Amino acid sequence: MQHPTPTNHSLPLKTSGFRSLAEALDYAAGGETGCNFYNGRGELTEALTYAELREQALELASRLHALGLERGARVALVADTHPHFHVFFFACQYAGLVPVPLPAAVHLGGREAFVAHLRAMLVDSQARVAFAPDSFAAFLAEASEGLELEVSGTLADFADLPRAERLPEPPAPEELAYLQYTSGSTRFPRGTMITQRAVLANLAGILQFGVQIRRGDRFTSWLPYYHDMGLVGLILGPLVSQLSVDYLGTRDFAMRPRVWLKLMSANRSTISFSPPFGYALCARRVRASDLDRFDLSSWRVAGVGAEMIRASWLKRFADALAPAGFSPAAFLPCYGMAECSLAVSFAPLGQGIDVDLLDADVLAQDRHARPASADLDDTRITEFVNCGRPLPDYEVEIRAADGSLVAERECGVIYLRGPSVMSGYANNEEASREALSHDGWLNTGDVGYRAGDSLFITGRAKDLLIINGRNIWPQDLEEVAEQQPEVRAEDASAFSIPGEDGTEVAVLVVQCRERDAFRQADLVERLKQRIQSEFGIACLIELVPLHTLPRTSSGKLSRSGARLDFLRRNGLESRPVLSQELVDRTPHTDAVETSRG
């Protein structure tokens, strides 16, 4: 019977000073800790110590090196939650090759869309070798058909390759550690080039200043390996700190989110991260009868990031799990992106969720984050979560459209400079020039403001709706929908498109569980009135069936995808302008019934 790798080990704790990820694995392999893989029932299926991982990675590295590829050649890895991914990723480190994690999620676009997406990434990354676990082998075979790959397939397809007599020199700090594709929420994903020095610098900051790692810590994760939080935070983070980590598959989490809590309880885990929707899903699925089976009192870091943080979702989670020993002080809001390896800022450890309440009208009209006065009506208040201070050695500036610095509490685009910023986007010089200045400043594309030393994120610059001169954040419209009893978290997506008169028209697409046409009409009318009352704008409401809203490869809702789908459903692909007739007829009932059929 297998047992999970231990929490405690004999190695002196070390989180920095490594020249490469391979060197970090060499050190971790001297201890007893490692990776543990669980199925959807919470049963251990495989335990892989870091010593075993190193041995298997070196074996595979010798076979990869024997292929005679040029140093730095790309190796595409379909990144399902499986130990073979770890082996391939670190084999690349030892072989002087660059791993490229690719999505392992067949979303609602179906097989054809997923295969096309994989193929596009294989081409974009200029992959020379490709790997997939058994469950994704057929997808990879179809996606790579006709491409000039040296080898493509499962681990078994690499097992018979000849071995090289010796391995190349270990990676230098300035060489690439991997290509990390962005989620593609606003455009086709781009491959961020992350060097060994960059990712190790970021990991040192995360482990020392963000989560303040300590002996006796243990990680648990269900995050996808192809997302920066899953790869850097929950694969590389545990290894670089020589700590054990327990993995649950992303699909298994989505089907049975309570297994996450079960593993946290059983293994006395102390650190786990999730986007806000993960906490919301858990809160919705947990039953009162479950609480006696969970003990979350050891959970000291409940990291939250990767998308806009909704304080109300986290409060529901904390309230639901309080009887199981979960402390809301464990919440650790953070901000980051793949272009910075992972993390930029962390809230103070042990603070929990700190919310800044703002005057919504002043924010909408002037983009000024004025604290709400005590007598302000609740409908005129908006809130943002404190994402803390930048990590040491990172500079953050808030800039206006003309590039000038804005004052404290003025909203602007977030720029940053630091040791873990990407080298650029692979094979895309134009995009690299747009994002990176000659002196190393990264245009994040995010909008936010500073209040004292703290950073607050208000949204993506490309997502901002400007309606009748007012700045409306799409998440505010989405939250109005989610407050209705018929609508759940992440069942709404807001965006704008041009109207016939040249102005922008707000659109809110809502996944509707209600089948009765009269109740659908009532929901639409409620939403229109609430939005008109709270934001002073008209909004077109479209109700659609469940599972209609598109998501990115990392699971986030894609507003750009929702906008494109809306245009297609309403015959506006060639002329994306809302006619007054379409606005007036409110196509909610037709959309639900037609799509359902």
CATH at 198: 3.40.50.12780
pLDDT recorded at residue 538: 85
Same domain for 146 and 287, yes or no, is: yes
Q: What percent of the chain has pLDDT over 70?
A: 92
C-alpha–C-alpha distance, residues 180 and 193, integer Å: 7
Closest CA to 399 of 437, 449, 340, 464: 449
Residue 59, both tokens = 């074996």
H-type helices in 399-508, by residue range? 429-435, 474-482
Q: Is residue 388 part of a domain?
A: no
Q: Is residue 230 part of a domain?
A: yes
CA–CA gap between residue 238 and residue 250 (Å, rounded) = 18
Instruction: Dig out the tokens for 495 from the structure.
Output: 């965006």
Q: Is 94 helix (H, G, I), strand (E, B) or coil?
A: helix
As a whole number of angstroms, the distance between CA 576 and CA 354 comes to 40
Determine, yes or no, domain membership for 293.
yes
Are residue 195 and residue 58 in the same domain, yes or no? yes
By CB neighbour count within 10 A (0-12 exposed, 13-18 middle, 19+ buried), where does 465 fall?
buried
Report the residue count for the chain: 597
| Any domain includes 451 | no
How far apart (Å, rounded) are the C-alpha atoms in residues 580 and 591? 18
Which of 334, 356, 226 lies closest to 271 in space, CA to CA?
334
pLDDT of residue 109: 58
The last residue of one of the domains, among 345, 364, 389, is 345
Give the integer Cα–Cα distance in Å for 66 and 81. Answer: 27
> Residue 547 burial by CB count (10 A; 0-12/13-18/19+): exposed, middle or buried?
exposed
pLDDT of 243-272, one tens digit each? 999 999 999 998 999 999 999 999 999 999
Nearest to 459 by CA among 325, 532, 557, 312: 557
Q: Domain tally for the chain?
A: 2
Has residue 71 been placed in a domain? yes
Mean pLDDT by 10 residues, the chain (597 residues): 89 95 97 96 96 97 96 96 97 98 76 87 94 94 94 93 94 96 65 96 97 96 93 97 97 93 96 92 88 94 88 92 95 94 95 92 86 81 92 94 93 94 92 91 93 91 76 83 85 83 81 84 89 82 88 70 83 59 49 35
Do 168 and 312 sit in the same domain of this protein? yes
| Domain end residue (candidates: 324, 345, 366) | 345
pLDDT score for 375:
81
- Phi, psi (rounded to 5 degrees) for 356: -100, 115
Domain CATH number, residue 521: 3.30.300.30
Q: How far apart are CA 374 and CA 308, in angstroms?
A: 25
Residue 529 lies in a domain: yes
Q: Strand ranges (DSSP E) for 68-118?
A: 74-78, 98-102
Only one residue has tokens 């002073």, namely 536
The per-residue pLDDT for range 74-103, each reduced to its tens digit, is 999 999 999 999 999 999 999 999 999 998
> Largest Cα–Cα distance of the chain, in whole Å?
76
In a domain, 195, yes or no: yes
Examine residue 402 and state whether it is found in any structural domain, yes or no.
Answer: no
- The structure tokens listed for 11 are 């190695």
Domain encompassing residue 324: 21-345
Domain boundary at 345, 363, 396, which? 345
d(CA 336, CA 353): 17
pTM of the model: 0.84
